[in-house]
Amino acid sequence: MSIIIKNKSDILSSEITDQKIYDGRREFIKNMGLGTAALLAGANMSIAEAKTQAQKYKNLAKSQFSTTEKLTDFSDITGYNNFYEFGTGKYDPAKRAKEFNPDPWSIAIEGEVEKPGVYNLEDFIKPYALEERIYRFRCVEGWSMVIPWVGFPLADMIKQFKPTSKAKYVEFVTLYDKERMPGQALRVLPWPYTEGLRMDEAMNPLTLMAVGLYGNELPNQNGAPIRLVVPWKYGFKNIKSIVKIRFTEHQPTSTWNKIGPKEYGFYSNVNPEVDHPRWSQKTERKIGEPFWAGKHKTLKFNGYGEQVAHMYKGMDLKKFF
């Protein structure tokens, strides 16, 4: 082992701390602290702040389906998630999905379809014009948010792949990779997470494939890089981190339906008239409002009846809940 002892002349002047900085070293450290504080404040970003952030998706088309309701804070949308792939606690995904890298990502198209195959994400979303959709989001647990998604209609994508006449349903599958999704080490749910829609539901203009929110890419805890958004159904239907889309003739099972068929139906449309067996669905708590402020009445189909009610005409929604 040789020890290199530098001569005085070997030390570059740029390596030496500037006298000004040295003199102001306490100030310097204090500023570093402020920087950290600003960083931490980022985790508590308000709407205005989130909007002024550098946006990846620019000039997004506005949608006639967007609500004008007050948006839920970015920090709430990204800090309170049910994403059991990253832990069963609501605050787990924000912490445990940090390491997750959704790049590269590919999506398999399978089943009753003319153009099956495996596509990489960029090619997969390239053909579609992204738009902003501000939707109400109602969790089956009784809370709700207003979220500015970025995405494209699922219908546009389905048309591209040309489902056959046998395709009556669409099944979605989340990534199953214990290494990357630590919550999957625990068998709280039968992995991988799956969800399904009837073909007309999938083709409904409201149904969205989301790739972002608040003008930026989807945060990991919200289902990066691509997820489903079906605003008239309970949150758990909005499957995250999708790796497979399968067109089927028969109704697919969905994860929550499998473990609790009496509590979580295949349709799971937001419906104040049909209680969850363990709690009423008549009201909801709007996240972001003071907790003593009271709840709001839940609307049938989460307020999207005009666009979706016709699909369920003649169906007993108490039976097909």
Partner 1 sequence: MEAVIKSNRYVLKVNNSALFKPFVFVLCLIPILNLVWGGFNQGLGVNPAETIIRSLGDWALYFLLFTLAVTPLRKTLGLSALMRVRRMLGLFVFFYVCLHLTAYVWFDQFFDWDEILKDIIKRPFITLGFATFILLMPLVFTSTNKMMKRLKKRWKTLHQLIYPISIMATVHYFWMTRADFRQPALIAVILTGLLGYRLYLVYQKRQGIKH
Rounded to whole angstroms, the Cα distance separating 320 from 266 reads 8
**Residues near 193 by Cβ (< 8 Å), separated by ≥ 6?**
84, 85, 173, 174, 239, 240, 255
Minimum Å gap between C-beta 100 and partner 1 is: 20
> Judged by CB under 8 A, does residue 143 bind partner 1?
yes
Q: Which stretch binds partner 1 (CB under 8 A): 130-138, 237-245, 271-279, 305-313?
A: 271-279
> Judged by CB under 8 A, does residue 278 bind partner 1?
yes
Which CB atom, from 186 or from 315, has the smaller least distance to partner 1? Answer: 186
**Member of 47, 60, 199, 287 binding partner 1 (CB under 8 A):** 287
> Judged by CB under 8 A, does residue 185 bind partner 1?
no
**Member of 168, 180, 198, 285 binding partner 1 (CB under 8 A):** 285
Burial of 253 (0-12, 13-18, 19+ CB in 10 A): middle
**Member of 79, 111, 212, 219 binding partner 1 (CB under 8 A):** 79
Which CB atom, from 75 or from 207, has the smaller least distance to partner 1? Answer: 75
> Judged by CB under 8 A, does residue 21 bind partner 1?
no
Number of residues that bind partner 1 (CB under 8 A): 26
Minimum Å gap between C-beta 79 and partner 1 is: 5
Locus of tokens 């805890």: 221
Q: Which stretch binds partner 1 (CB under 8 A): 10-18, 207-215, 270-278, 313-321?
A: 270-278
> Judged by CB under 8 A, does residue 320 bind partner 1?
no
> Judged by CB under 8 A, does residue 291 bind partner 1?
yes
Nearest CA to 79 out of 126, 44, 123 is that of 44
Minimum Å gap between C-beta 196 and partner 1 is: 19
Distances (CA, A) of 90 to 56, 101, 160, 191, 314: 27, 20, 36, 19, 37
**Residues near 305 by Cβ (< 8 Å), separated by ≥ 6?**
232, 299
Locus of tokens 């204090």: 30
Rounded to whole angstroms, the Cα distance separating 250 from 155 reads 19
> Judged by CB under 8 A, does residue 84 bind partner 1?
yes
Report H helices in 184-231.
199-203
Which CB atom, from 22 or from 91, has the smaller least distance to partner 1? Answer: 91
Rounded to whole angstroms, the Cα distance separating 130 from 97 reads 25
> Judged by CB under 8 A, does residue 176 bind partner 1?
no
> Judged by CB under 8 A, does residue 11 bind partner 1?
no
Locus of tokens 């969850």: 276
Per-residue binder mask for partner 1 (CB under 8 A), 188-227, x = binder: xx--------------------------------------
239 in Cβ contact with 252 (< 8 Å)? no
Around 243, how many Cα atoms within 13 Å sit in the side-chain half-sphere? Answer: 10
Binding site for partner 1 (CB under 8 A): 75-76, 79-80, 84, 88, 90-91, 143, 186, 188-189, 259-260, 275, 277-280, 282, 285, 287, 291-292, 294-295
